[in-house]
Every structure is written in C-alpha cells, then in structure tokens.
Amino acid sequence: MPAAVVVALAAGLLTATAPTAHAAAGATLPFTSVEAESATTTGSKIGPDYTQGTLASEASGRQAVRITSGQRVEFTVPSAANAVNLAYSVPDGQSGTLDVYVNGTRISRTLAVTSKYSYVDTPWIPGAKTHHFYDNARLVLGQNVQAGDKVAFQSTGTQVTVDVADFEQVAAAAAQPAGSVSVVSKGADPSGNGDSTQAFRDAIASAQGGVVWIPPGEYRLTSSLSGVQNVTLQGAGSWHSVVHTSRFIDQTSSSGSVHIKNFAVIGEVTERVDSNPDNFVNGSLGPNSSVSGMWLQHLKVGLWLLGNNDNLVVENNRFLDMTADGLNLNGNARGIRVRNNFLRNQGDDALAMWSLYAPDTDSSFENNTISQPNLANGIAIYGGTDIAVRNNLISDTNALGSGIAISNQKFLDPFHPLSGTITVDGNTLVRTGAMNPNWNHPMGALRVDSYDSAINATINITNTTIADSPYSAFEFVSGGGQGYPVRGVTVDGATVRNTGTVVVQAEAQGAATFRNVTATGIGAAGLYNCPYPASSGTFSLTDGGGNSGWSSTWSDCSTWPQPGQGNPDPDPTRNLAKGRPATATGSQDVYTPGKAVDGDANSYWESTNNAFPQSWTVDLGSTQAVRRLVLKLPPSAAWGARTQTVTVLGSTDGSAYTTVLGSAGYRFDPATGNTATISLPGGTSLRYLRLSVSANTGWPAGQFSEVEVYPTS
C-alpha cells in the first residue's frame, strides 16, 4: 500500500495519497488539524471566498467560523492530545480571551487572542492590500483527551473568527544532556522577567564544541547573538523552552557546525520592515549546521540565509505567523536540505530560493506542509542550478501567489537564472493560485515564469496532484511582460481535479511536453494558449501520450476565462488567423509574413523574388476546424490582375504537413476586390496553415496582403 498523509483541509478530510512506490506529499506532523467549518458551532460560517482582502480568502480551506459573545466552536478530538494550537482572527485593534471547555466542562485556563500581530500593510509591494489577518495561539490543556472527546472554545465578548485547531500530544520536557552548559548556570532568568542575553552569550562561549542547554522556562533576549559556531543550542522541547526575541542570531559568517534544536523562539514583530533583521537567523550558520524541532513565531522571517551555509539541514520545525518569508536561501546555498517542516500564515513566500550574487545549487525543499501564505507563493525558486522541489503539500495561497513558482524573476542584480535540471516531483497543491491584481488576471497553481529572462533550464514536473485550484493548474508566463520564452519543460504524470478555469494557461512563447496528465471537473477549457505580447511567438504543447480530459482550447484570446463559466462557442464569423504568428521561407525587404495577418489589406507579404516555390505559414494557436480561406492582395487598381498557383497544406504539430488542396491557380483581379476564396474539404482540422506558392503571373514572388481563415464555409 502506498503511504498517505491526511490533513483536514476542508469540511471533512482531504487525503493526499502518493502513487505506488512514490513518497506521500507533505510533512509527518506531531499534531492533527481539524477545520472549524467541520466542527459544531453556535456561530456562523464564512466562505468559501477567494477575494483578496477577505477573512475567508485567507482561511484554511477558504472557510472559517465567526463567534461572538457566548457563542462557541466545539471540535471533536481526532486523536489523543494534551495541548492545542488555534488559528484565529479578531477585529483590528481588539484583544480578548476564549473560554475552553473539555467534554462540556470549563477548564481553568483560557486562551488569549489578539490582533497585535495581524493586519499587516506593505504599500511598497504592488498589488498588496491589508493582509495577514490570522494568528496562532497555543494552550496546554492540563489534562489528557482522547479521540472522540470534545474541546470547545467560547467567546467571552470579543468577536473571534476561528479557522483551524491543531491537537497534539506534547511529550514531557527532556532532561539536560550530560556535560552541557545550562544558560541558567550563567545567569539566565527562566521567568522571562530578566534580560538573559549575556547569559546566553556566556554559555555559548563556555560550551564550544559542546551543548548549551536551555531548561524549561521563558527567556527574554534584548539583542541578537553573534559569533555562534561549533556549538549545539538545545532545549527541553518547543512547548517547554521558550526564548522571547525578534532577533536570535545575526551574523555574516561562521565556521559552522551549529546545531539548534528543540525550543521555541517567539518574537514581537507586528509590522514588516524589510531593513530590519527581525529574523530567527539572519545571515550564516556556517557549513554542516542544522535547525530542527523548533517552534518559530511572530518574526519577520524564520531563516534569511546568506553566505556559507553549505550542507545545512532544516527539518521538523514549525514556522507560524511571519510577516515575510518563512525561509529564504538568499544566494550561495549549496547542498541545503529543507524538509519535513510545517509553515502556516507566512506574509510572503513560505519557502524561497533566490539566487542573488551567487546561484543556489544542489539544494532542495522536500516533504514540507505549507498552508496559507497570504501575499506570495507556497514555494518559490528564483533562479539557481540543479534544484529540487519534492513531495510538498501546499494549500490556500492568496494574492500574488502560486502553490509553486519556478521563475527567472530577479528583483535585483547580479542574479543567476535557472540552469541545469530543476526537479519538481511528487507535489500536491490544493486551492492554490490566485488573482494577480497587477496583471488583472490569474496565476496558476504551478507557475513557470520567464519574468526577466528566457528559461533555458531543463524543468521536469512529475507526479503532481492539483486539486480545486480557483483558476488554472499549470501556467507558463513571462510575468515582466517582455515575452521571454519558456523552454525545456516536461510535465509527466499529473492528476488535475476541479480547476476553476483551465488546465494549462500558456501566456509565453516556448514549448512544453505533456504526458500522462488527466483532468476532471474543468471550469472553462483544457488549454488557454495566448502568448503575450501577441507578436512574441508561439507556445507549442507536445502531446506525449496518456493525456485525457482536457483536449478543448479556449476560443477567444481577447477575453479571460472566468471560473466555472465554460468555453463559449467561437464566433463563426471570426478570422482565426488575424494577429496570429506568421512565418515564411523568405521575405522581400519590409514585406514580412506578419503583414498578411495584420488586418490591413493595404500592407502585404512578398516572398523572396525569383525563388519559387515559396511558402507562408500561420499558427492558429490550437487545432481548429477550418472550412474557408480568403486570400487578398491590396485593392488598389495599381495592382494588376494576376493568377497565383497555390498549394494548401495543414499540420497539427508544426512538423508533419499534409496536403489539404493540391496545386491550383487562383485569380486576383482589382475589378472584383483582388480576393480569392478557397473552400476546404469538410473535416479539415489544423493548427498550422501553410500556403505554398509556385507561380505568380503578375510578379516573380508569392504575395498576400491578407490571409483570412474561417471555421465556416
């Protein structure tokens, strides 16, 4: 049997089951999540909604439950637990408490809720609105509960929107390792009242090559640590040892072998200030380091990594409520593994590699569970060489974000574009993709973006599951608007369910091969193939076999498909060739192939002179039923009557052409408009139309001012 990961992502459970002999997507987590909308409530449900700036759109599953004074949400406990973490939102400027009930009995402990860390504004980011509405608060229940028990949260006066509850069996505090140096022995205050910064520094200095022990307690640091190298910082568990600081480690270099594990770092970051190093780690831990078992919350960024972090392992951590990225490998990452982490409510990319100054190489994001990044992507790869994104479970991206983005967006220079092989394998994307307010059109669940330069890497996208995307599943785009090509893409093995619009949203020139991609529940059409700018070139999809359920093509590049609207019937009077990319075997001077599809009967294509035969080809963008051609020359009487000998050919792939109509002479006479109409056989279906001209009685070249292609006779 294949492995499976079960996560409560909607009313009921979504099960992401890996294909045979393929790892399941997402992290193995120490808790089980239950959505509020699947619980019992005396409040009111909100959502689903995908509109930027609404509470429901940022919620897990795009739904939540709102309660006011005296109202409650009651969860059924899914498995044995003694603690709970609750994702919630309260109105801006308000705070309060929730009473907690276990099996109908109110316990002595309450859960504090606040808007302090929410409602973030980033006006310097185009398209951003107030966001980051939710927060997380945790509570040890003081008793054990079992599967089937009831845990309820009741408002004591404040309006609270409850999103999801994580139930966990928290282990007892770990014991101090033998030979370790306790921060308390150096004067740290476990009550959290005193400043423990110097005690931490002294313990680190004393424990070189050994372990700094952080006993159970609350510790307050007022400035960051630096010079951290060749040491292990270890706590009694992330629910037991808690460090309160917004800047834990800030250093540009380290000799490495730094191991940080099993405690919490909780900050006080309430706004995003990009010039401030308000991060758990800012800079470098040095080679052969690790971060594991950490609870990171209320910071700007979890780890913003620069310099030498070779072979760093970041695993089994929780990243909650950052105002920016969860983790960013900011260039020069070599051999880094980020795996089995849980990230919720990040204010920018949850996990990112950004190849600034030097390329990120041979690094990977694997088996991470990412929920609700509220201003960017679940995972973003901006440049780099030989990168892997494997077996991640990503859900509920919001504005400006895809589930996964593979991109040449550089932001700054010197930037190192994608190169080598980019492996995107075994990922599951649920309700990912969003409307981009800057583009005024949507971003797909998985986006490949030649934003600032052509993509020439090998990009292999395999074993992908995309469910309930509000818009498209796969998007190919040049997001900077310059029309750079996307090349070298293979999509092999994908299951697409319930896309709002299309399976493939192709907006850039380039090419991709699709094989074994099956789709059900498509909202509009299988393919949107409309590269921008229209003159930039074509996007060619090669059918590698095994594809099903998405053969239709969106019919009108002048409109955007809307979720669930279906594909409108094409206008039978529409000229399919107008504005489409055209090529030719040769052109004379300024009389280029595009002149024959520009809608202007007075401009024209003229082939190389005295070199028959010559051919002219137009790409209609997708395979179409074609019944009639209208060939034109400029209507001016200065163009004398002539006959051109033309063969009509067609192709569905741009490679293999068949003859639609054999060689025949077509008369052009200004007295009758200088046009020739050609009726094609019934059943003619083609994407590429080619006209081969072997003779012209009026000039030693092929000439057309317009080639019009119609689906009706």
Residue 573 has pLDDT above 60, yes or no: yes
Start-to-end CA distance of the chain, whole Å, equals 56
Q: What is the per-residue pLDDT across 162-177, written as a single tens digit (0 to 9) for each? A: 999 999 999 999 999 9
Whether the per-residue pLDDT at 601 is higher than 90: the answer is yes
Place of tokens 């697409």: 496
Q: Which of 581, 491, 496 is nearest to 532 (CA)?
A: 581
Element (H, E) at 479: none
Instruction: Indicate if the pLDDT at residue 19 is higher than 70.
Output: no
Cα gap 371→362, rounded to integer Å:
25
Query: For 53, how many CA atoms within 13 A lie in the half-sphere containing its CB?
Result: 7
The residue whose two tokens read 């006066």 is: 157
| pLDDT (0 to 100) of residue 440 | 83
Residues found in the chain: 713
Of 43-57, 453-467, 550-564, the range with the lowest mean pLDDT is 550-564
d(CA 600, CA 633): 10
User: Mean of the pLDDT values across residues 74-87?
Assistant: 98
Average pLDDT over the chain, rounded to whole? 94
Instruction: Supply the pLDDT for residue 561.
Output: 86
Instruction: Give the best-scoring range by mean pLDDT among 7-11, 136-140, 637-641.
Output: 136-140
pLDDT at position 173, please? 98
pLDDT at residue 496 above 90? yes
Over range 526-531, report the average pLDDT: 94
pLDDT at 394 over 50: yes
414 burial level (CB within 10 Å; 0-12, 13-18, 19+): exposed
Mean pLDDT within 181-190: 98
Q: Poorest-confidence range of 424-428, 450-454, 623-627? A: 623-627
- Note the pLDDT of residue 46: 97
- DSSP β-bridge partners for residue 458: 421
Q: What's the pLDDT score for residue 477? A: 97
pLDDT higher than threshold 90 for residue 565: no
Q: 19-28, 257-266, 282-291, 630-639: which range is least confident on average?
A: 19-28
Q: 285: which residues sit within 8 A by CB, 6+ positions away?
A: 228, 249, 254, 256, 258, 260, 291, 305, 309, 312
The partner residues of 351 in beta bridges, in order of sequence, read 327, 379
Q: Is the pLDDT of residue 4 over 60?
A: no
Report the 10 Å Cβ neighbour count for 388. 18
Model confidence band, residue 32 (pLDDT cutoffs 50, 70, 90): very high
Name the token pair of 312. Answer: 């760093």
Q: Give the side-chain half-sphere CA count within 13 A for 155.
A: 24
Q: Can you tell me the distance from the alpha carbon of 261 to that of 238, in angstroms, rounded to the nearest whole number? A: 9
DSSP string, 147-167: TT-EEEEEESSS-EEEEEEEE
Q: What is the per-residue pLDDT across 437-452, written as a single tens digit (0 to 9) for each? A: 888 889 999 999 999 9
User: What confidence score (pLDDT) does residue 568 get?
Assistant: 67
Over residues 12-29, the mean pLDDT reads 59
Summarize pLDDT for 537-561 with one digit per residue, the tens. 889 999 999 999 999 999 888 888 8
pLDDT score recorded for residue 151: 98
Mean pLDDT (whole number) for 135-148: 98
Bigger pLDDT: 77 or 20?
Answer: 77
Q: Which residues pair with 334 in a beta bridge?
A: 361
Whether 687 and 622 have beta carbons less than 8 Å apart is answered as: yes
Q: Name the β-bridge partners of 371.
A: 344, 395
Is the pLDDT at 313 greater than 70? The verdict is yes
At 272, the amino acid letter reads R
Percent of the chain with pLDDT over 70: 96
Beta strands in 115-255 (DSSP E): 135-145, 150-155, 160-168, 181-182, 191-195, 211-214, 217-220, 231-235, 241-244, 249-251
Indicate the pLDDT class of residue 241, thresholds 50, 70 and 90. Answer: very high
Res. 303: pLDDT tops 70: yes
Cβ-Cβ contacts under 8 Å for 371 (sequence gap 6 or more)? 9, 60, 343, 344, 345, 394, 395, 396
Average pLDDT over residues 375-396: 98
The pLDDT of 569-585, averaged and rounded, is: 86
Average the pLDDT over 411-417 and give the result.
97
Give the pLDDT of residue 22. 58
Report, as an integer, the average pLDDT of 203-213. 97
pLDDT at position 580 over 50: yes
For 175, other C-beta atoms within 10 Å of its C-beta total: 9
**Residue 3 pLDDT > 70:** no
Determine the average pLDDT of the residues in 476-499: 96
The Cα–Cα gap between 709 and 691 comes to 12
What average pLDDT does range 310-315 have in this prediction?
A: 98
